[in-house]
Chains A and B, each alone.
Chain A
Amino acid sequence: MDLTSLNQLFTFKSIFESLEDAVICHDIDFKITDINPAAARLFGFTGEQVGKTVSGIMEKTVFEEYERLVDTVRSGAKVQGFRTVCRSITGKDLHVSITISPITDAEQKLIGISQMIRDISDEYTAEEQQATLAAIIEGSEDAIVSKTLDGFITSWNKGAQGVFGYAAPEVIGKHITILIPPDRIHEEDYIINKVRAGQKIEHYKTVRLAKDGTEIPISLTVSPIRNKQGRIIGVSKIARNITAQKLADEKQAALAAIVESSDDAIVSKTLAGIITTWNKGAENIFGYSENEAVGRHISLLIPPDRLDEEERIIGSIKRGVKIDHFQTIRISKENKEIQVSLTVSPIKNSDGIIIGASKVARDITAQREAENALKSNSQKLMILNSIGKSISEQLDVNVILQKVTDATTELTGAAFGAFFYNKTNEEGESYMLYTLSGAPREAFEKFGMPRNTAVFHTTFSGEGVVRVDDIRKDERYGKMAPHFGMPDGHLPVVSYLAVPVISSTGRVIGGLFFGHPEPGIFLQDHEDLVVGVASQAAIALDNSKLFEEVKTLSLKKDEFIALASHELKTPLTSMSGFLQVLQKTASDGMNKVFLDKAIKQVDKLNILINDLFDISKVQAGKLQFNFERLDLGALIGDICETFEQTVPGHNYIYVREGDLVLQGDKMRMEQVITNLIGNAVKYAPHSRDINITAVNHNHEIIISVIDYGAGIPAAEQAHIFSQFYRVREKDRNISGLGLGLYITKEIIERHGGRIWVESEPGKGAAFKFAVPVCNTHINI
């Protein structure tokens, strides 16, 4: 070996021993030939390992990997910077980089292997951290952006793209101000200045612009970026999109505001019933403040007799069932009962477990009152309706006024009510009390009738309704001597209501007056009701007055007819008397014939006058009857005889059968039979035979009077028993007032019987009536 080679060898030796990297050399049989101090340092190898095989110092799996690497080198390839993990002497896994080189002799024959192992743990950790950070940055939903101190964007993560809409290539190199709304540009100076000063900005809430121009609420965290020397070289910026959070915050704030501003009581409680929240509405409704209520048991609000309701409510809530619009009663702090409608819902935690109940209580006292008011209004309407009906059916003034006074007193809630007629006494002072309700008549009599004072005048002059909350404070009150107000002992009137009752002609009939000892009792509603009733009453009173007038007129008419009948009969009586006297003495001949005719006409005249008089009695219900045992059969026989004598020219064929005795008025029955036979004679002058039959059939006596004249058309038959009715075709030639059958019908009916006609036009007519034998049906 020459000197140069020897020097070279020492040089290599020195390098080998001073290398930072561990070097292990072995021959082709893996027998270790050399180990440098670094190897000893890293792996704890000593000289003792020299001469042993590499497999002795490596774990089996590592050695197998190493054998494959050596095979690669043997095949002539190089292994450089192969990264793997080795265990150090301290037992620590070291990240290493291995370079394996062949050792050849002068003939280039492989005689061994050198492996150089470099500890790259530090380097590896840095890389790993950077990769992790990169992954985090890329995976973050927050926008993570870095920029230079001048504000130019240097990095832009996926999150930034998500938040602002720009892709990294679009913004890198651009100035950060593209994200800042013009009115917030100043923020950038502030941020940069802080960062330059080495300070960090955390959770700075601001607004930035997205690519599409929308403003995005963000929370910014800005940090300085320093180089290894600690010099600040840039800025990292994390922007979190807080739109959702902002919305949630706003929503929560809105909910809170709603809860707080709700008129309903909104309360939450635990399943054990302990109140946990209490809003303003609850405070207003129940009177307890939040401080007073929270922490107390809900039974605070529940009336003792309704405590079981809470168990049922909680039972339902525990099953997750909501309670809707449960109407009940709760108690306020002032111990006042409150009508509430409850809606109770379960409160669940984030795991879905029911932990309490929220309770919305609506105060429905007012609603209930409104319902009650409605109910009472409909009752009032019913009263009004019934008053209207009952007074319109009434014609008796006393009854009408009493009903009206009673009903209006009830409707207005007055302590007492009265109707006064608009009539003053001779001195023109007092009004006439007519009806009273709610107070005895003596209450007025003690001090006489109300006087023509300013208070009353308004009503009786028809000026309108007077409704005063406190009459004592009214300017019209107390102006009149001697009392100057209510006399002592007067009904205690404070609330006062007076409504004039005005007839359709505008005349003030009177006034309805109401009083109550407390002020402010009468409301517009009451006034309206009374005005309504008063107008109905006025109509009823008008009707009553008309009825009275008609009644009076009718009475006058009856009186007149009675008088007229009397006055007509007086000359008729003397005339008839003188004629009969003459008749008795006259010799046969012309004189006697004329006298007979004159007497017959006088009789006719008498019948007409009697009919007129009877009809007025029938209408007045004053037709009197004298019932006695009456042999109707014999009566008819007598009448037939009379007709044979007085109206000759007809065959009056009378057939009777059975017992014909009944209870009857002889004179009236005579009138009936005479009328029927007379009609037959009158309306069938050419009918020779007139058949009269009387039979007792089934406890009724049935009388028929049959003629063979023109008969009566079917259409006329229904009318012939009406007043003043006459079968038209014949009217012109036949005298009579058309009253006979009407009176006949009345007489028969008053005997409990019935009358009818059977007729076939052209063949004649049969008038028949039936009257019961026994008198139980008689209408006296």
Chain B
Amino acid sequence: MSKKLVYVLEDDADISEVVSYILSEEGYEVNGCPTVAAFNHMISQRLPDIAILDIMLPDGNGLDICRQLRMDERTSVINIIMMSANTTKNEIMGSGCGAEFIAKPFNIDHFVARVNQYA
């Protein structure tokens, strides 16, 4: 079985690094990108199984990306996990984009459990 592909859209390099490390250790193929533009480019090249999206990004909002992915039939099957320092789970639920949510900072065990549900 090939490795599941995870895209991590996160502008903070250190967070991106630690998330990538944890998921790589768990056996995922992880591609990180710091901007919406880069993310969109990656999506256009290859679809991931799971997308982990930060919300506050330098050139956009993770929730918008989430909605955009859900609306496109091609991308609507991607499992999305929102990750944010400020936005609570309630707001993610309220935004109606059907995503998982992980608050920053996170407990590694909880985080891995969330991702693994899509493995």
Binding site for B on A (CB under 8 A): 562, 565-566, 569-578, 580-581, 584, 602, 606, 613, 624-626, 665, 667
Residues of B within 8 A of A569 (CB): 85-86, 104-105
Q: From known contacts A566-B56, A578-B18, A626-B94, infer whether A573 and B86 are also in contact, taking CB-CB under 8 Å.
A: no
Check if A667 sits within 8 Å of B12, measured CB to CB: no
**Which chain B residues numbered 1 to 60 have a C-beta less than 8 Å away from chain A?**
12, 14-15, 17-19, 21-22, 56
Chain B residue numbers with a CB within 8 Å of A667 are 88-90
**Given A566-B56, A569-B85, A626-B89: A574 in contact with B107 (beta carbons within 8 A):** no
Return chain A residues, CB-CB under 8 Å to B108: 577, 580-581, 584
CB-CB < 8 A to A584: which residues of B? 108
Contact (Cβ within 8 A) B15 A570:
yes
In Å, the complex CA distance between A505 and B22 comes to 62
B73 in contact (CB, < 8 A): no
Q: Are A606 and B105 in contact (CB under 8 A)?
A: yes
Residues of B contacting A578 in the complex (Cβ-Cβ under 8 angstroms): 14, 18
Bound CA span A177–B90, Å? 130
Q: Contact at B85–A570, with CB atoms within 8 Å?
A: yes
Give the shortest distance, in Å, between B58 (CB) and chain A (any CB). Answer: 13
Nearest CB on A from B70, distance (A): 20
Q: Which residue of B lies closest to A614 (CB)?
A: B88
Quote the shortest CB–CB distance from A613 to chain B (angstroms): 7
CA distance A574 to B88 in the complex (A): 19
Whether B93 is near chain A, meaning CB under 8 Å from some CB there, is yes
**Other CB < 8 Å A-B pairs besides A569-B104, A580-B108, A625-B90, 7 of them?**
A562-B86, A570-B15, A576-B106, A577-B19, A578-B18, A581-B108, A626-B94
Of chain B, the residue at the smallest CB distance from A580 is B108
A580 touching B107 by the CB < 8 A rule?
yes
A69 to chain B, nearest CB (A): 160
Instruction: Output the least CB separation between A609 and chain B (Å).
Output: 8
CA distance A229 to B56 in the complex (A): 155
Chain B residues at the A interface, C-beta cutoff of 8 Å: 12, 14-15, 17-19, 21-22, 56, 85-86, 88-91, 93-94, 104-108
Residues of A within 8 A of B15 (CB): 570, 573-574, 577
Residues in A with CB closer than 8 Å to B12 are: 570, 573-574
Is the beta-carbon distance between A626 and B14 smaller than 8 angstroms?
no
Quick check: A577 and B18 within 8 Å, CB to CB? yes
Give Cα distance in the complex from A569 to B56, angstroms. 12
Chain A residues with CB under 8 A of B93: 626
Q: Considering residues A562, A574, A584, which has the most beta carbons from chain B within 10 angstroms of its beta carbon? A: A574
**Given the complex of chains A and B, what is the CA–CA distance between A577 and B112 in angstroms?**
12
Q: Which residue of A lies closest to B89 (CB)?
A: A667
Q: Which of A573, A581, A626 contacts B104 (CB 8 A)?
A: A573
Indicate if the CB atoms of B85 and A573 lie closer than 8 Å: yes
Residue of A569, A571, A577, A613 most packed against chain B (CB within 10 A): A577
Bound-complex Cα distance A361 to B94 (A): 83
Count chain B CB atoms within 10 A of each CB in A565, A571, A626 and give the residue with the most. A626
Distance in Å from the Cβ of A436 to the closest Cβ of chain B? Answer: 42
Which residues in A have their C-beta under 8 angstroms from that of B94? Answer: 624, 626
CB <8 Å contact, B14 and A574: yes
Subset of 17 A-B contacts with CB under 8 Å: A566-B86, A572-B105, A573-B12, A573-B18, A574-B15, A574-B18, A575-B105, A576-B105, A577-B15, A577-B19, A577-B106, A581-B22, A584-B108, A624-B90, A626-B94, A667-B88, A667-B89
- Chain B residue at minimal CB-CB distance from A570: B12
Residue of B with least CB distance to A584: B108
Give every chain A residue within 8 A of B22 (Cβ-Cβ). Answer: 577, 581
Contact of B106 among A562, A573, A665 (CB under 8 A): A573
CB neighbours (8 Å) of B90 from chain A are 624-626, 665, 667
By a CB distance below 8 angstroms, the chain B residues around A625 are: 90
B20 → A minimal CB distance (Å): 10
Q: Of the candidates A565, A570, A573, A581, which one forms a contact with B21 in the assembled complex, judged by CB atoms under 8 Å apart?
A: A581
What's the minimum C-beta distance from A521 to chain B, rounded to whole angstroms? 58
Enumerate chain B residues within 8 angstroms of A624, measured Cβ to Cβ: 88, 90-91, 94
B19 surroundings in chain A (CB, below 8 A): 577
Looking at the assembled complex, report how far the CB atom of A25 sits from the nearest CB atom of chain B, in whole angstroms: 171
Give the complex CA separation of A613 and B85 in angstroms. 10
CB nearest neighbor in A for B94: A624
Chain A residues contacting B104 (CB-CB under 8 Å) are: 569-570, 572-573
Shortest Cβ distance from residue B51 to the other chain A in the assembled complex, whole angstroms: 18
Smallest Cβ distance from A479 to chain B, in angstroms?
Answer: 57
Chain A residue nearest in CB terms to B91? A624
Q: Which of B12, B85, B91, B93 has the largest count of A CB atoms less than 10 A from its CB? A: B85
Within 8 Å CB of A576, what residues of B?
A: 105-106
B15 to chain A minimum Cβ distance, whole angstroms, is 5
A576 to B56, CA, bound (A): 20
With A566-B86, A624-B94, A667-B88: A573-B56 Cβ-Cβ less than 8 Å? no
- In the assembled complex, which residues on chain B have CB atoms less than 8 Å from the CB atom of A665? 90
Collect the chain A residues with CB atoms within 8 Å of residue B107's CB: 580
Contact B85 A574 (CB under 8 A): no
The complex places the Cα of A578 from the Cα of B107 at a distance, in Å, of: 11
Of B89, B91, B104, most buried by chain A (CB within 10 Å of CB) is B104
A578 to chain B: closest residue by CB:
B18
Ranked nearest first, the 6 interchain pairs of A and B with the lowest CB-CB distance are: A569-B85, A577-B18, A574-B14, A576-B105, A626-B90, A573-B105
Q: Is the CB of B18 within 8 A of A565?
A: no
Taking CB atoms, residues of chain B closer than 8 Å to A562 are 86
Chain A residues with CB under 8 Å of B88's CB are 624, 667
**B108 → chain A, closest Cβ, in Å?**
4
**Complex alpha-carbon distance, A667 and B91, angstroms:** 12
Task: Name the residue of chain A whose CB is nearest to the CB of B108.
Answer: A580
B6 CB, min distance to chain A CBs, angstroms? 15
- Nearest-neighbour CB distance to chain B for A316, whole angstroms, equals 85
* A584–B22 alpha-carbon span in the complex (Å): 11
Contact check, A571 vs B14: say whether CB atoms are below 8 A apart. Answer: yes
Query: What distance in Å separates the Cβ of A218 from its nearest Cβ neighbour in chain B?
Result: 119
Give chain B nearest CB distance to A67 CB in angstroms.
Answer: 161
Find chain A residues with CB under 8 A from B89 CB: 626, 667
| Closest chain B residue to A565, Cβ basis | B86
Contacts of B18 in A (CB 8 A): 573-574, 577-578, 581
A746 vs chain B, min Cβ distance (A)? 14
Residues of B within 8 A of A570 (CB): 12, 15, 85, 104
Q: Which residues of A contact B17 (CB under 8 A)?
A: 574
CB-CB < 8 A to B56: which residues of A?
566
CB distance from B26 to the nearest CB of A (A): 12
Say yes or no: A602-B105 contact (C-beta < 8 A), given A570-B15, A574-B17, A577-B22: yes
CB-CB nearest in chain B for A562: B86
Q: Once bound together, how far apart are the Cα atoms of A574 and B85, in whole Å?
A: 12
Instruction: Give every chain A residue within 8 A of B21 (Cβ-Cβ).
Output: 581
B61–chain A nearest beta-carbon distance, Å: 13
Question: Nearest-CB distance from B39 to chain A (Å)?
Answer: 18
In the assembled complex, the Cα of A225 lies from the Cα of B86 at a distance in Å of 141
Distance, CA A667 to CA B86, complexed state (A): 14
In the complex, what residues of B have CB within 8 A of residue A566's CB? Answer: 56, 85-86
- When chains A and B are docked, how far (Å) is the Cα of A697 from the Cα of B73? 51
> What residue in chain A is nearest B13 (Cβ atoms)?
A574
B87 to chain A, nearest CB (A): 9
Nearest CB of chain B from residue A663's CB, rounded to whole Å:
14
**Chain B: minimal CB distance from A251 (Å):** 101
Expressed in whole angstroms, the minimum distance between the Cβ of B115 and any Cβ of chain A is: 14
CA distance A571 to B17 in the complex (A): 12
Instruction: Write the chain A residue with the least CB distance to B11.
Output: A570
B106 CB contacts on chain A under 8 angstroms: 573, 576-577
* Distance (whole angstroms) from the CB of B37 to the closest CB of chain A: 21
A305 to B89 CA separation, bound complex (whole angstroms): 83
Residues of chain B within 8 A of A581, CB atoms compared: 18, 21-22, 108
Q: Which residue of B lies closest to A665 (CB)?
A: B90
For residue A336, give the distance in angstroms from its CB to the closest CB of chain B: 75
Docked Cα-Cα span, A574 to B12, in Å, equals 9
The complex places the Cα of A606 from the Cα of B108 at a distance, in Å, of: 15
CA distance A565 to B104 in the complex (A): 11
Which of the listed residues B19, B56, B90, B94 has the most CB atoms from chain A within 10 Å of its own CB?
B90
